[in-house]
Amino acid sequence: MTDIWRMIARRLLLGLLTLFVISLVIFGATELLPGDLARELLGQSATEETLAALREQLGLNDPAPVRYWNWLTGVLQGDFGVSMATQKPISELVGARLGNTLFLALYAAALSVPLSLLLGVLAALWRNSIFDRASNAMALTSISFPEFFVAYILVLFLAQTGIFPSMVRITAATTFGDRIYMAFLPALTLTLVVTAHMMRMTRAAIINLLASPYIEMARLKGMSPLRVVLRHAVPNALAPIINVVALNLAYLITGVVVVEVVFVYPGLGQLMVDAVTNRDIAVVQAIALIFAAAYVLLNLIADVLSTITNPRLMHRR
């Protein structure tokens, strides 16, 4: 067990390194983008004079490395700074949005993970049956529609008929029950988007093991197919399943900006897009780091769980 703790500690340290690399990559990329915040804020009406005045005011005239250094030292002291466009503290801007994003991600995960594991196991158990083929074809169809299109279809059938609202207008005063009700359509959209991937990986990972000699042995001993799958195949198929679940969870946190836009959901994705469009670098950096941290942590958890399920991974050279 100490090995695992050592691995976690090491990975966390490496995670910090990853975050540092990301902050560099993002900063560099936004620097490479044409235009800057002053240009975007003034838009077409910019003149050289007003641009210069605004750049001065925003501190954009410092060379890029200086601005990066200022930002980095701030972050190391726990200060993410203020949004250059609105002068609001970033913690204030990001806080409520982060809560909304996590709420939607967990909501969608609570629907999709059990559903896809169940479907995946059943499909592996009854492989090549009508159930297998039909659930497969349906999952594939839902996954091959773009997210916004799935959302429009759900809105057509479930919102235009008045059952659910077509927009999610969440404020601080919204109760938990109302949130669940209002966010149902976006959560369902995301469920349809991620289920097929997880379900198919589950099925494939299990089926991949079914030809192994030890499964053959279990079968020869007269075990029921359900028992074979659950007791012998699933535990050994967990590594790839856990990985694909982690990938999709991370996606639910970081990649749902389209769903946010369609349902007017105030999440981090839209905020990041706005910030990128307007080159509000401090906000971009803060959100990129949040996304990255979510990613690193989920991957770490996935690797730890994989290791636990396959102890052989522990004893490598």
Partner 1 sequence: MTMLLSLIIGLGLFFAIGWSSRLAMHAVAPAQHKPIYRDMPLTAAFGIAVILIYVLVATLAPLIAPFGEGEVVGDQYLPWAAPYHLGTDKLGRDMLTRLIYGARNTVGIAFATTALAFVVGSILGIWAALQGGWVDQVLSRFVDALMAIPALIFSLLLLTIFGTSVLTLILVIAAVDATRVYRLARSVSQGIVVMDYIEAARLRGEGTWRLIRREILPNAMAPLVAEFGLRFCFVFLAISALSFLGLGIKPPTADWGSMVRENATLITFGDITPLLPAGAIALLTVAVNFVVDWQLHRASGLKE
Partner 2 sequence: MTNLILPRGISRRGLLQGAAAIGAAGLILPAGARSAMAQAKKGGVFRIGLGHGSSTDSYDPGLWEQLYVQTFAAARVNYLVEIAADGTLVPELAESWSSADGITWAFAIRQGVTFHSGKTMTPDDVVASLNHHRGDASTSAVKPFFDPVTDIKVDGQNVIVTLNAPNADFPYLMSDYHIPVLPSADGKIDPNTSDGTGGYIVESYEPGVQATMNRNPNYWKADRAHFDQIIMLTILDPAARLNALMTGEVDLIDQVDPASISLLESRGVSRIISVSGNAHYVFPMDARAAPFNDNNVRLALKYAFDRQELVDKILAGHGSVSNDNPIGPANRYFHAEMEAKTYDPDKAKFHLKEAGLDTLEVTLSAANAAFSGAVDAAVLMSEKAAAAGITITVDRVPDDGYWDNVWMKKPFCASYWGGRPVEDQMFTTAYAAGAAWNESFWDNARFNELLVAARSELDDTKRREMYHEMQQLVSFEGSTIIPMYNNYVMAVANNVGTPEKISANWNLDGFRCVERWWFA
CA distance 254 to 248: 10
Which of residues 25, 52, 66, 217 is near partner 1 by CB under 8 A? Answer: 25
**Does residue 200 contact residue 120 with C-beta atoms inside 8 Å?**
yes
Total residues at interface with partner 1 (CB under 8 A): 69
CA dihedral 15, 16, 17, 20 (to 10 degrees): 120
Does 254 help bind partner 2 (rule: CB under 8 A)?
no
Which of residues 2, 44, 128, 175 is near partner 2 by CB under 8 A? Answer: 44
DSSP state of 89: B
**Does residue 185 contact residue 177 with C-beta atoms inside 8 Å?**
no
Does 14 help bind partner 1 (rule: CB under 8 A)?
yes
As a whole number of angstroms, the longest Cα–Cα distance in the chain is: 85
Q: Provide, rounded to whole angstroms, the least separation between the CB of residue 78 and partner 1.
A: 21
Instruction: Please report, as a single letter, which amino acid is at residue 127.
Output: R
Supply angle C-alpha 313, 195, 151, rounded to 5: 145
Which of residues 26, 93, 98, 246 is near partner 2 by CB under 8 A? Answer: 93
Q: Provide, rounded to whole angstroms, the least separation between the CB of residue 172 and partner 1.
A: 26
* Complex with partner 2: residue 35 or 114, whichever CB lies closer: 35
Number of Cβ within a 10 Å radius of residue 213: 7
User: Phi-psi region for residue 310, left (φ > 0), alpha (ψ -120 to 50) or beta?
Assistant: beta
CA distance 265 to 161: 20
Which of residues 229, 237, 244, 275 is near partner 2 by CB under 8 A? Answer: 275
**Which residues are within 8 A (CB) of 282 and not within 5 positions of it... i.e. 6 or more apart?**
71, 80, 81, 82, 83, 84, 90
Which of residues 9, 66, 156, 217 is near partner 1 by CB under 8 A? Answer: 156
Listed ranges 73-81, 86-94, 188-196, 228-236: which one lies at the site for partner 2 (CB under 8 A) = 86-94
The first and second tokens of residue 149, run together, are 């299109």
Which of residues 8, 96, 115, 143 is near partner 1 by CB under 8 A? Answer: 143
Does 173 help bind partner 2 (rule: CB under 8 A)?
no
* Complex with partner 2: residue 108 or 271, whichever CB lies closer: 271
CA distance 187 to 173: 20
- Positions touching partner 2 (CB under 8 A) are 33-35, 38-47, 49-50, 53-54, 56-57, 83, 85-87, 93, 147-148, 152, 155, 159-160, 162, 165-167, 169, 257-258, 261-264, 266, 269-278, 280, 283
- Positions touching partner 1 (CB under 8 A) are 14, 17-18, 21-22, 25-26, 29-30, 32-34, 127-128, 133, 136-137, 140-141, 143-149, 152-153, 155-156, 160, 196-197, 200-201, 204-205, 207-208, 210-211, 239-240, 243-244, 247, 250, 254-255, 257-258, 269, 272-273, 276, 288, 291-292, 294-296, 299, 306, 310, 312-313, 315-317
